[in-house]
Every structure is written in C-alpha cells, then in structure tokens.
Structure 1
Amino acid sequence: MDATQTGFAGESGAVKIQERLQKRHQARAEDAERRKEAKDSKSVVEEKGEYFSSSFNAERASIEEVLSGCSGADRAAVTQRLEEATAKTVQLQKFLNDSMLFLTQYELRQAQAALLKLQSSIAEAREQAVPRKKFAFRARTKATDKVSETPSPAADARADSGVAKVDGAAESEQCSFSHMDNASLTKTAADVQKRDVLLSHLTNCKVRLFGSPSTLHLKHIDGCEILCGPVSSSVFVDHCRNSTLAVPCQQLRTHNTTDTRVYLQVTSRAIIEDCHGVSFAPFSWSYPTLEEDFEVSGLDRDRNNWSQVDDFNWLAAGTHSPNWTVIPEADRKTTWDP
C-alpha cells in the first residue's frame, strides 16, 4: 500500500471517530435536555401542588371560621353564616375539580375527605339551628287498622305534590322525605333550589326532584327509583340497595351500597367505598326545565366522567375493581316516565 492510500485510510478512520464522538455528544446533550425538562415539569407540578395545598387549606380554615361563628348566634345570623359557608364550600369543590389533573391520589383523597368533613359540619350546624322534626304517623283507629296498607288516593295526592305531614308541619319545608314506603314523591325546583336535600329510610318509592339542589344525601334507601336534577356540589349515598339513581353532580361518594344502578353525570371522578354490585351508565333522565337547571347549578354540561370510578377498597393498579361495572348499552334505561 502506497503512502497516498495509507494517508486516506488514516483520514477516513479519523472522520469516523469524529462522527462517533459527535453522535455521543449529541446523545448526551439530548439526554441532559430530557432530564432538565423532566425536572422542570416535576418542579411545575410540585409548585402547583404547593399552591393548591396552601390555597385549599386557607379557604378551608376560612369556612371553619364562618361555622365557628354559628355557636351562640341567633337563628338569622346562623342562617346567613350557613349560606356563606355553603357557597364557599361549593367554590372549594370546584377548585378541587379543576386541580385534579396534577394532584396525587393521596392529595386528592385528603382534599375530598376535608370537603366531606366541611359538608357534614354544615349539615350538623343546620340541624342544630333548625332541628328536623321526627316523622310520626297519627294514631290510627281500629277500623283503619283493618284496612289494607295500600295508600289512599288522598295520601297519593299528598305524596305526588311533595307534601307529607310531619308532626303537623309540611315536610317540603324541611326539604326532605323520610320513613316512607310505596309512595310517589316529588319536589319542585322551588322546593330544592340551592338547598340541601335529604332522602332517608325510603322503601319501594319513586322520587322525582326537579331543580338544582346544593347537595343531596341518600341514606337507607331500599328498592327505590330516585331521579334528580343537577346537584351543584356533592351527592352522598349511604346504605342503598337494589335501587336505581339518576343524577348530575360535581362529586358522587357512595358507601355501603349494593345492587344499585347509577345513571350519572359527574365532573370529577365518582368514589365508591364498601360497595359491591354497583353499575354505572350516562345520565339519561330528561324533563322540560333540565337545561335551565344545569345553568343554575353551574355544572359543565359537556363534561361527564360517569365511567371514571375510584374504589377505595380496591388498590390493585391496572386491574378493574370487581365491585362496580358499566351497564351494557342494550340494558340501559332510556324511558323514565309514561
């Protein structure tokens, strides 16, 4: 091999070495850039989390301070404070919903638990300020005792109008239905608008709630069909079985519930705990003023996470919880009223 060929080979080898060095340098630079971007992204998420935590806790403390002022105050002052606390809690729920994308599961659960505690405190303060009268049937005559337990036309009329006598007071004034069997129950938008609604100890009842409640509490429900207009904040379900529910809301939290179908529109993620046999489908009930009630509620009509369900008893990542299912399209109810 002559000198010219030897020199060319040496130059070619040097070029290849230089190219490899450049590629290695470029790969290292790209890797460093990716690490920097990941670090910056993590930093942004951490900053958002810190901002959320400080803002959330400050507003929670503010609501707790409002509630503490209820102690010893007159009824008018308590009512005003409860309205303020309720409005602040609704805004805090919206803040949580808007922050869910960057919160960890732990942060989300802590915030949801804090909200639940606030809502319970508001309900307790309202109960103390305006005690709910116990349901009591009037004494029946012996002749009445011999009659079938089927509700009379008059009783049906009272139930259909949403008015039931509770120790002489109309239950519609209390925004609740309690301890009733085999009845058709209705409340209008005027009854429920921006109010807390409680349904408890109902068996084989059909309930229609038109309008936009602030919150909805369902307790000890058996064999019922409950349809509700848009709830501006949360729906709490406890000890419900063999029932059908249809409701739009910001948050759904369900405890101790079995064999129940939920037709849902929810802007956050639904939560179940100590439940089994619960199934979900999109909200499908409709009535003439539904769109107006959505406007009043402030819910996003186009946002629905009905199939995004967190089971607090099922922590196996990547494996679907056996405690809830999606209702097949062919089995979903689309016609609710004759």
Structure 2
Amino acid sequence: MSLNAALFPVASEIKTGDVDAMTDAEQNQGDDADALLQQKHAAMLQRLAIKEDARLQKFAARRADSLASVNPSESKDRFLQSFSEQFNQAEKNICSLQQKVSSEEDKSSIKRDLDQNAIKVLELEQFLAENSYFLPAYEVRASQSSISSLRMKLEHINAELVSKKKFTFKSKIAKNKNTTESSTLQASEPSQVSDSDAGKVNDPPYSVIGAPDRSKSRDDSESSESLHSRSSCMIRDMENSTIVRDLKNQEDSEIILQNLINCSVYIRGVYRAMYAHNLRGCKVFSGPITGSSLIEEIEECTMMLASQQIRIHNAKMSDMYLRVRSRPIVEYTERVRFAPYAFTYSGIENDLSFANLHEETGLWEHVDDFRWLRAIPSPNWSVLPEEERIGLVDGSSLEL
C-alpha cells in the first residue's frame, strides 16, 4: 500500500465512487439518447405514413375523377349504357318513320328522314367497331345483332318506298295514255327531258322509277317535272358493254347497278345515292354522290366513287378509288385495295363543290372492317401501291 493511500484512505474511496457515479450518469445519458432517437424515428415514420396516406387519397381522388369523365369506350358498362341509349333512340326514330310510310303522311320528309336514320345506324356501327377491342365476344355479337335489326327495318322501309314509287309512276303513265295527244304533249313539257335522256328512258337497259312525292300538292300538272328531278336509273343484266350516263340537273336521282359482267360504266354529274349489286369484272367511274353508296357482291371490279358514306359488303379482289367524308365500312371482304379518287370530266369541280366533296379528306385509307374486331390491322383490305394504281380517268369525251 502506498503512503498516500495509507494516509488518505477516505479520499481514495471517494474518488472511486465518483468514477462509478460518472459511469452510471453517462450510461443514463446514453439510454436517454437512444430513447430520444427512437422517438424521433417513430415520429419520422408517422410523418411519412401521413404523407403516404395523403398521396394515396389524392391518387384515389384523381382516379375517381378520371373514371367519372372517362370515355365510354374505356368501360364495358359505360359502353353498354351509351350503346343502349343510342340504339333505343334510333329504334324509336325508325318506328316513327315506319308509321309515316304506312299512313302515307308527310311524304316530303320521308326520304330525308330515311337518310338521316341510315347515318345514325352507321354511326352506331362505327361506335361498336371503335370499342370492340375490349368487349367480350358475346357483347359484340349481341350489339351486331341489334344493329342488324335496325338495318333490316330501314331496308324494309326503303323497299316499301320503292314499291310506292313504281305504282305511282305506272298510274301516271296510264293516266297520260288515256288523255288526248295534245294534253300528253302539254303535260310532258315541264319535265324538260332532252332527246338523249328520253332515248335512255326508253332504252331496254334503263328503267326509270318515280321517287316518292316530295311536294304537298298531288296535282298531275306538276308530276312530270317532279318525276324527272327525282328519278332513279337502273342499269342491269348487261355484259361486255360500255354505259355512259349524264345526270345534269338530276341531283335527287339514284343509280342502281345490278347483274353486270365485264361492263364499263361512266356516270357524269351529281346524284343522291348509288346501289351496286352483283358486279363481275366491271369498271365504274362515278361523279359525286351527295348521300350514301352501298356496294354488294362484287368481284374483280374497279370502282371510283366520291360519296358522303360508302359501305361495302361481300367484295373480293377489287380496287376502290374513293373520296369520302366518313370512314369507309367493309364487311366480308377479301383482298380489297383502296386508293384516292381519280376520275374527272368537264365540270366535275363544280359538282364536287356542290356535293361538299371538293376537298380530299384522306379517309379513303382509314377503313373500318366490321368483321375484324381485333386491335391489329385487318388482313381483308390494304392500300393499293402507287405503282399499281391507274392514272386519272377522263370521261369528258365519252359519248352517250
């Protein structure tokens, strides 16, 4: 034992106690620091959790807003609701139109209403085509069936109108035959039919049918003029022929092409609608159409059409040169190719402007295939390569 320790034992013990006390204090301070750190960590986690909850709430709110304003095509339920509303309205309008035809009332508006309803049905078909990529197959089939029922009703109404046209025209002819020769000549003056047009009316390949009466008066003195302005030209049952048709001042007329084989048809002028059925190896070059065109059962044909709407059924190995103001619609097609409109004649610019088809919309290559409901492009049609397209066809010099 040292001298200091022996002399001052209490001081030594006091110093040892102080060291132990300081060690305990430091340990307590360390424990307090750990507790404080844990509290800070817990507070930070709580703040992060609050921020995450706020973020998730904002995200949910934005998603709810997005779903509330989303296009019906992004939701099956919303699509079905929108489709049902449009279908019910179209069906109601068609039933109302059918009542007009049956009661023979308001004949002046029947044809206009028929065209408007046909456009609505086309829009409904396009609505289905644009949204079919996410719909179940059974929903697509059910919607197609509903649209087909509307189309059949419209076709029935149109057929009934055609039958009424034929009856009206024949009755007028019979009445004219019973009159004297002078009265017949007097009644025919308002029609202003040229000699060339008159020859076509009497020519076997052409059959002129009176359109529905659009005037409020039924006076026979006005019937001849009305008949000329609202006539339909039927070209059918011909082979290896060239047909030229001028439609000057006949904007409300219709062209019907049926059962033609290896024929070339040139139509100059503006008219309301075209219906082509069962054409084989034909070439059709048409002036502007203010309404719609329906092409069915064609094979190995070349057709140049400028029309507001164009629909093509059952076409094979054919080239379509189009100018159109809505997307062309095809069904049951095979190897059909599309190119821009390439037909001209003297005065066609004025005719195109009258039909509101003077501008190239580019829609000729945006085709809707209603039998191809996948997201990838349809293999049933294609764009005609430029090197394979025919040049501008000029029908100015063709004689009737």
- TM bucket by the smaller chain? 0.7 to 0.9
Contact 2:208 2:233 in 1 (8 A): no
Amino acid at match of 2:306: P
| Equivalent in the alignment of 1:175 | 233
Report the aligned-residue RMSD.
3.8
- Relative to its length, the structure with more helix (as a share) is 2
Contact 1:90 1:232 in 2 (8 A): no
State the 1:167 CA deviation: 8.8
**Structure 2 counterparts to residues 231-250 of structure 1, below 5 A:** 231-250=289-308
Query: Does 1:87 find its partner at 2:147?
Result: no
| Equivalent in the alignment of 1:166 | 204
Deviations 1:7-31 (A, max 9, x none): 3563254124312331233123312
| Equivalent in the alignment of 1:127 | 163
| Equivalent in the alignment of 1:152 | none
SS at match of 2:248: helix
| Equivalent in the alignment of 2:276 | 218
Contact 2:299 2:316 in 1 (8 A): yes
Query: Does 1:230 find its partner at 2:296?
Result: no
Report the more deviating stretch, 300-309 or 12-21: 300-309
SS at match of 2:382: strand
Contact 2:323 2:360 in 1 (8 A): no
TM-score by length of 1: 0.72
- Could you tell me how far apart the structure 1 residues matched to 2:320 and 2:94 are? 30
Size of the aligned set, in residue pairs, is: 304
State the 1:265 CA deviation: 2.7
| Equivalent in the alignment of 2:364 | 306
Deviations 1:51-107 (A, max 9, x none): 53343223212221122134xxxxxx8xx72x5222112223444566777555555
**Structure 2 counterparts to residues 64-83 of structure 1, below 5 A:** 64-70=98-104, 81=107
Contact 2:302 2:318 in 1 (8 A): yes
State the 1:122 CA deviation: 1.6
Deviations 1:257-281 (A, max 9, x none): 2211111233333333333221112
- Could you tell me how far apart the structure 2 residues matched to 1:192 and 1:325 are? 34
Contact 2:331 2:371 in 1 (8 A): yes
Contact 1:67 1:122 in 2 (8 A): no
State the 1:190 CA deviation: 2.6
SS at match of 1:17: helix
Percent identity between the aligned chains?
22
**Structure 2 counterparts to residues 117-156 of structure 1, below 5 A:** 117-130=153-166
- Could you tell me how far apart the structure 1 residues matched to 2:37 and 2:51 are? 21
| Structure 1 residues without counterparts, runs of 5 or longer | 71-76, 134-157
Change (3 A) 1:280 1:299: same
Contact 1:267 1:300 in 2 (8 A): no
| Equivalent in the alignment of 2:242 | 184
| Equivalent in the alignment of 1:14 | 43
- Could you tell me how far apart the structure 2 residues matched to 1:168 and 1:228 are? 17
State the 1:313 CA deviation: 4.0
Query: Does 1:200 find its partner at 2:258?
Result: yes
Amino acid at match of 2:203: K
